[in-house]
Structure 1
Amino acid sequence: MTNPTEIIPGVIFYSYLSATRKEKVGFLAHNTLVLQVSGLFTLETSRQKISMRRGEMLLIGKNQLGEITKTPLPGEDYETIVISLQEDMLRKIALEEQIEIQQKYTGPPNILIPGNDFLQGYFQSVIPYVRNPVEKLTAAMGILKVNEGVKLLLHTRPELSAFLFDFSEPYKIDLEKFMLSNFHFNVPLEKFAQFTGRSLAGFKRDFQKVFGMAPRRWLQEKRLAEAWHLIEERNKKPSAIYLDLGFESLSHFSHSFKKKFGKAPSDSGKIK
C-alpha cells in the first residue's frame, strides 16, 4: 500500500489528503489493519468490495491484489492509519498465547471489525502519534502498539485467530480465473506465481498450458486489448487508463499501443 508517511518504516503508515485518489495496490506479504480516522475508504478485489467510514476498522488478508479509493467527505478530509501485521511478529504472539492453528483459513479475505470500547480506545491512542510527527514514535513503541492491537482483536474477536495465524502457503488456485480478474495489476511474475500457489517455474508451465503463450506476452496482449476497448468503445483518454492497465508510464503504453495497432492511442478515429 502506498502512503505519504511512514511512521514506523514497513509497519505503521499514515495517509492524509483532501482530494479523491485511486491506488492499485498489491497486499503482498502481510495481513493489514486499517483504521479509518475520517473520509471514505473503499477496497475492491476480485472477490469483495468493502467501504468504511470514520471510526471503522478493516482487517485485510495477505496475498491479495486490489484497488483502493480514498475519498474525502463533506466537512472532513481523508485520514487513515495502516498497520502492517508482519508474519514474524504474529508468530511470536502465537507462541506467547500458545495458539496453534491446524487448518487453513477459508473465510472472507477482508473483514470489517465492529467497534467497541476496547478497540476505540486503542484507535484513539494511535492517532496522536501519526498526527504529530514531531513527537516521534520509536520503533520499540510502535511494535508495542501493533502487539496491543493484535491482542485486543483476539480479545474481542477470538475467531480471528484462524485469520491472523494461518501461516500455510497459498493453495494452488484456478490460474485462468485469477489472471483474467487480475491481469491489470503491475506486479512481478513472481508475485502472480505466489498468489496462485505456485513456484515461478510451475506458474510459467501451467500458464503456457492454459493460455498457449508465455505470461509476459499474454499480459501485454490482454492489457492492450483492454486499452483498445476503453479508448475506442468507451472514449477513455490514454492518460486516464494506462496506470489502471498495469503500464508503468504513458510513454511505454503509447509505444506498445502504436506497435500493436499501428497508431498512437491519442489519435482520433477507429483503429482498424
Structure 2
Amino acid sequence: MLNPIEIIPGVIFYSHLTASRKEVAAFLGHSTLILMVNGQLTFETSSQKTTLQKGDILLVGKNQLAQLRKTPSDEGSYETIVIILQEELLRKIALEEQIEITEKYIGPVNMLIPSNDFMRGYFQSVIPYVRHQDEKINNAMGMIKVREGVQLLLHTLPSLRNLLFDFSIHHKIDLRKFMLSNYHINVPIEKFAQLTGRSLAAFKRDFNKVFDAAPRHWLLEKRLTEARHLIEKKHKKPSAIYLDLGFESLSHFSRTFRKMFGKAPSEI
C-alpha cells in the first residue's frame, strides 16, 4: 500500500502505517487539517511541539518545517486523514465572501481544534472518500469538502480567519536564528530560502555573509558536530539520532561521520 494515499490529488490524503515508529521531515507549504484516526503523531517545529492522540484534530499553519513522529497504536495501526487547505482556494473564498483581515493573528500557528458535533460529522463525511479509493472522485467534489472544512473551522474558532486568510508576503527573517533552530530538518536548500523570505541566490549570498560557508557544507558540518556531541556527551546511539539530524539512512550517516572525524560513530 502506498503511503500516504492521495484521495483527491493534492487535497485529501489518507495515511496508514502498520510498521514501527516512523520519523520524517516535512515542509508544509499550505495550511493543513489533520485528523488522528488511530495511533499517535508528534508534530514538532522550532517553536512548538504537539502530540495528537486518537480523535484529535490539528490545524497546521502554512510555510513551516516540521519533524513528524508517527507511532502505531497498541493494536499496530496508525491512520490519519489530511486535508490541504490550498492557498488558491482560500483566496477564492476570501474574494467570494468578502473576507477581510481585521487584525494580525497572534495565536499559535499550530493548534488543536476543539472537537464538536460539527467537526466530528465533517470528518465522518470524508470517510467514504477514503473507503472508496478506486472510484474516481473529481476535484470539484474534493474542493466542496475543503470549503466545508474551512467554514466549520471559522464557526468553531472565528479568530482563525486572521490566520487562514493572511496572504501577506513574508519579509526576510533572521537567517542565523532560523538556521540554528532548523538545521536538523532534511529539506532542500530551496525550502530554507523560501521560508526565510529570500530567493535562492539571495539566500546563498546572505548565508555566506552570516556563516562564512556555503549552506550545504555548513549543514553537513553542523549536523555531524551535533551528532558527535550527542554520542560522546549524551551517550546516544547512532541509530537513535541519525533521522533527527536530517540523515536519510544510518549507512549514509556513518559514511559521512567517518569521513569528517576519521572514525565510525560506533568507535567514538
What corresponds to 1:61 in structure 2? 61
What corresponds to 1:48 in structure 2? 48
Query: Residue 151 of structure 1: CA displacement?
Result: 1.5
Mapped to 2, the partners of 1:169 and 1:107 lie a distance apart of: 19
Which moves more between the two structures, 143-152 or 247-256?
Answer: 247-256
Query: 1:41 aligns to what SS in structure 2?
Result: strand
What corresponds to 1:16 in structure 2? 16
Query: Residue 5 of structure 1: CA displacement?
Result: 1.4
Q: Which has the higher contact order (CA 8 A, sep 6+)?
A: 2
Query: Residue 183 of structure 1: CA displacement?
Result: 0.4
Query: 1:7 aligns to what SS in structure 2?
Result: strand
Which moves more between the two structures, 243-252 or 212-221?
Answer: 243-252
Mapped to 1, the partners of 2:250 and 2:70 lie a distance apart of: 23
Count of residues in Structure 1 that have an aligned counterpart in Structure 2: 267
Name stretches of at least 5 consecutive residues in structure 1 with no aligned partner: none
Q: Would you say the 8 A contact 1:21–1:71 is kept in 2?
A: yes
Mapped to 1, the partners of 2:205 and 2:102 lie a distance apart of: 31
What corresponds to 1:37 in structure 2? 37
Instruction: Tell me: CA distance 1:53–1:247, structure 2 relative to 1, closer, same or farther (3 Å).
Output: closer
Query: 2:62 aligns to what SS in structure 1?
Result: coil
TM-score between the two structures when normalised by the length of structure 2: 0.89
Mapped to 2, the partners of 1:211 and 1:19 lie a distance apart of: 40
TM-score between the two structures when normalised by the length of structure 1: 0.88
Q: CA RMSD in A?
A: 2.2
Query: 2:187 aligns to what SS in structure 1?
Result: coil
Instruction: Tell me: CA distance 1:26–1:235, structure 2 relative to 1, closer, same or farther (3 Å).
Output: same
What corresponds to 1:81 in structure 2? 81
What corresponds to 2:225 in structure 1? 225
What corresponds to 1:261 in structure 2? 261
Query: Residue 99 of structure 1: CA displacement?
Result: 0.8
Q: Would you say the 8 A contact 1:227–1:241 is kept in 2?
A: yes
Query: 1:66 aligns to what SS in structure 2?
Result: strand
Mapped to 1, the partners of 2:222 and 2:138 lie a distance apart of: 46
Which moves more between the two structures, 98-107 or 46-55?
Answer: 98-107
Query: Residue 209 of structure 1: CA displacement?
Result: 2.6
After TM superposition, list the pairs within 5 Å mapping 1:1-272 onto structure 2: 3-74=3-74, 77-101=77-101, 104-266=104-266, 268=267, 270=268
Query: Residue 171 of structure 1: CA displacement?
Result: 2.8
Mapped to 1, the partners of 2:27 and 2:217 lie a distance apart of: 24
Mapped to 1, the partners of 2:23 and 2:249 lie a distance apart of: 15
Which moves more between the two structures, 115-124 or 198-207?
Answer: 198-207
Amino acid at match of 1:101: I
Instruction: Tell me: CA distance 1:23–1:56, structure 2 relative to 1, closer, same or farther (3 Å).
Output: same
Name stretches of at least 5 consecutive residues in structure 2 with no aligned partner: none
Mapped to 2, the partners of 1:105 and 1:172 lie a distance apart of: 19
* Deviation string, structure 1 residues 69-106 (Cα, Å, up to 9, x no partner): 22233457322100111111111111111112265534
